[in-house]
C-alpha cells in the first residue's frame, strides 16, 4: 500500500511539474494581499475597459492538450445596470481560420488590494496619485453562436490586475509591463463543444498564456513558443533565417 501511495505522489508531482502556472508567478499572492474581499467597496467603479485595451496580437491563447492556437477578441464589455458585479461581453474567437461570435458574462467574485503599492522601475508612478492597487477574480461564461461551425462554450476563472487612479477611475495595471514574463487578464478554463459535449482546456491572456505545458513558452523576457508547436498555429513566431533578414 505504501508503495502505491508513493507512486501516486510521484505521478502527481510529475503532472504538476509539466505545467507552467504563470498566474501564480505573475499575480500577487496571499502574503502580498490584504485578506478582506472588498467587492462591495468597489461596486461603484467600472472595470470594463481593462479587458479591451490590449492589441489583438498580444492576446495569446491555447485550446486543447496539443496547444492549438486560439485567438480571442473581446469587442465590447459593459457593466450591468442591475448587478454591479456583472459585465456583459461580446467577442469573437478564431481557431484554424474558423471564426465564431460569442456573448456572455464576467461575474466578479473577489476584489483584493495589495498591502504595498508598487510604482514600477525607478518609482516611475510614485507621483501619479495612485490610490489603490489589486487583483480581481471572476467567473466567466461566453457562449458561441450555436449556428456557426465548431462552436461551444468558454467557461472558467479570470484574474486581472488593476489600480485606482487619482481621478477615482479603474486603470489597467501595466506598471510592471517591462518585467520578464508580464501577464494580465488571465482567462483559465475550458471550452465545451455543443455538438459532442467534449471539453478541452482553453486558456488565454495578455502577453502570455496563463497555464500551458512547461515546454510551450520558452521565452524569458517575452513570449516565444517552442518550435514543436509552430504547426499548431504559432508559425508566425518562427525566427527568420539569417539570409531572410530583410523580409
129-156 pLDDT, tens digit each = 999 999 999 999 999 999 999 999 999 9
User: What pLDDT is attached to residue 111?
Assistant: 98
Q: How far is CA 4 from the centre of its chain?
A: 37
pLDDT tens digits in sequence order for the chain, 247 residues long: 444 433 443 444 433 347 899 999 999 999 999 999 999 999 999 999 999 999 999 999 999 999 999 999 999 999 999 999 999 999 999 999 999 999 999 999 999 999 999 998 777 888 889 999 999 999 999 999 999 999 999 999 999 999 999 999 999 999 999 888 899 999 999 999 999 999 999 999 999 999 999 999 999 889 999 999 999 999 999 876 555 545 4
Rounded to whole angstroms, the Cα distance separating 163 from 69 reads: 30
190-207 pLDDT, tens digit each = 999 999 999 999 999 999
Overall residue count recorded for the chain in this entry: 247
User: What pLDDT is attached to residue 15?
Assistant: 39
φ, ψ at 139 (rounded to 5°): -95, 145
CB 223 within 8 A of CB 210: no
Q: Which helix (H) or strand (E) holds 186?
A: strand 184-193
User: What pLDDT is attached to residue 243?
Assistant: 56
Q: How far is CA 73 from CA 32, 36, 162, 168, in A?
A: 31, 32, 20, 27
Handedness of CA 173, 174, 175, 179 (dihedral sign): positive
Task: Supply the DSSP symbol for 35.
Answer: S
Instruction: Provide the grid cell at 219.
Output: 521565452
Q: How far is CA 68 from the centre of its chain?
A: 16
Angle CA 36–38–44, to nearest 5: 170
φ, ψ at 43 (rounded to 5°): -60, -30
Amino acid at each position: 500500500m505504501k508503495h502505491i501511495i508513493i507512486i501516486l505522489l510521484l505521478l502527481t508531482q510529475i503532472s504538476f511539474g509539466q505545467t507552467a502556472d504563470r498566474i501564480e508567478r505573475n499575480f500577487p499572492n496571499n502574503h502580498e494581499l490584504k485578506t478582506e474581499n472588498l467587492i462591495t467597496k468597489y461596486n461603484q467603479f467600472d472595470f470594463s475597459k481593462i479587458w479591451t485595451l490590449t492589441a489583438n496580437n498580444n492576446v495569446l491563447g491555447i485550446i486543447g492538450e496539443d496547444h492549438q492556437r486560439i485567438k480571442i477578441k473581446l469587442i465590447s464589455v459593459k457593466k450591468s445596470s442591475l448587478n454591479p458585479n456583472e459585465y456583459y461581453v461580446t467577442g469573437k474567437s478564431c481557431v484554424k481560420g474558423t471564426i465564431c461570435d460569442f456573448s456572455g458574462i464576467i461575474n466578479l467574485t473577489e476584489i483584493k488590494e495589495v498591502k504595498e503599492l508598487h510604482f514600477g522601475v525607478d518609482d516611475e508612478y510614485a507621483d501619479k496619485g495612485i490610490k489603490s492597487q489589486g487583483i480581481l477574480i471572476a467567473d466567466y461564461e461566453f457562449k458561441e453562436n450555436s449556428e456557426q461551425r465548431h462552436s461551444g462554450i468558454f467557461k472558467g476563472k479570470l484574474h486581472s490586475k488593476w489600480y485606482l487612479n487619482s481621478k477615482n477611475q479603474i486603470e489597467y495595471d501595466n506598471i510592471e509591463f517591462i518585467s520578464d514574463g508580464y501577464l494580465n487578464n488571465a482567462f483559465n478554463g475550458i471550452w465545451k463543444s455543443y455538438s459532442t459535449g467534449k471539453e478541452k482546456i482553453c486558456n488565454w491572456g495578455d502577453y502570455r498564456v496563463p497555464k500551458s505545458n512547461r515546454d510551450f513558452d520558452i521565452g524569458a523576457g517575452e513570449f516565444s513558443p517552442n518550435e514543436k508547436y509552430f504547426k499548431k498555429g504559432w508559425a508566425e513566431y518562427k525566427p527568420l533565417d539569417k539570409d531572410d533578414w530583410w523580409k
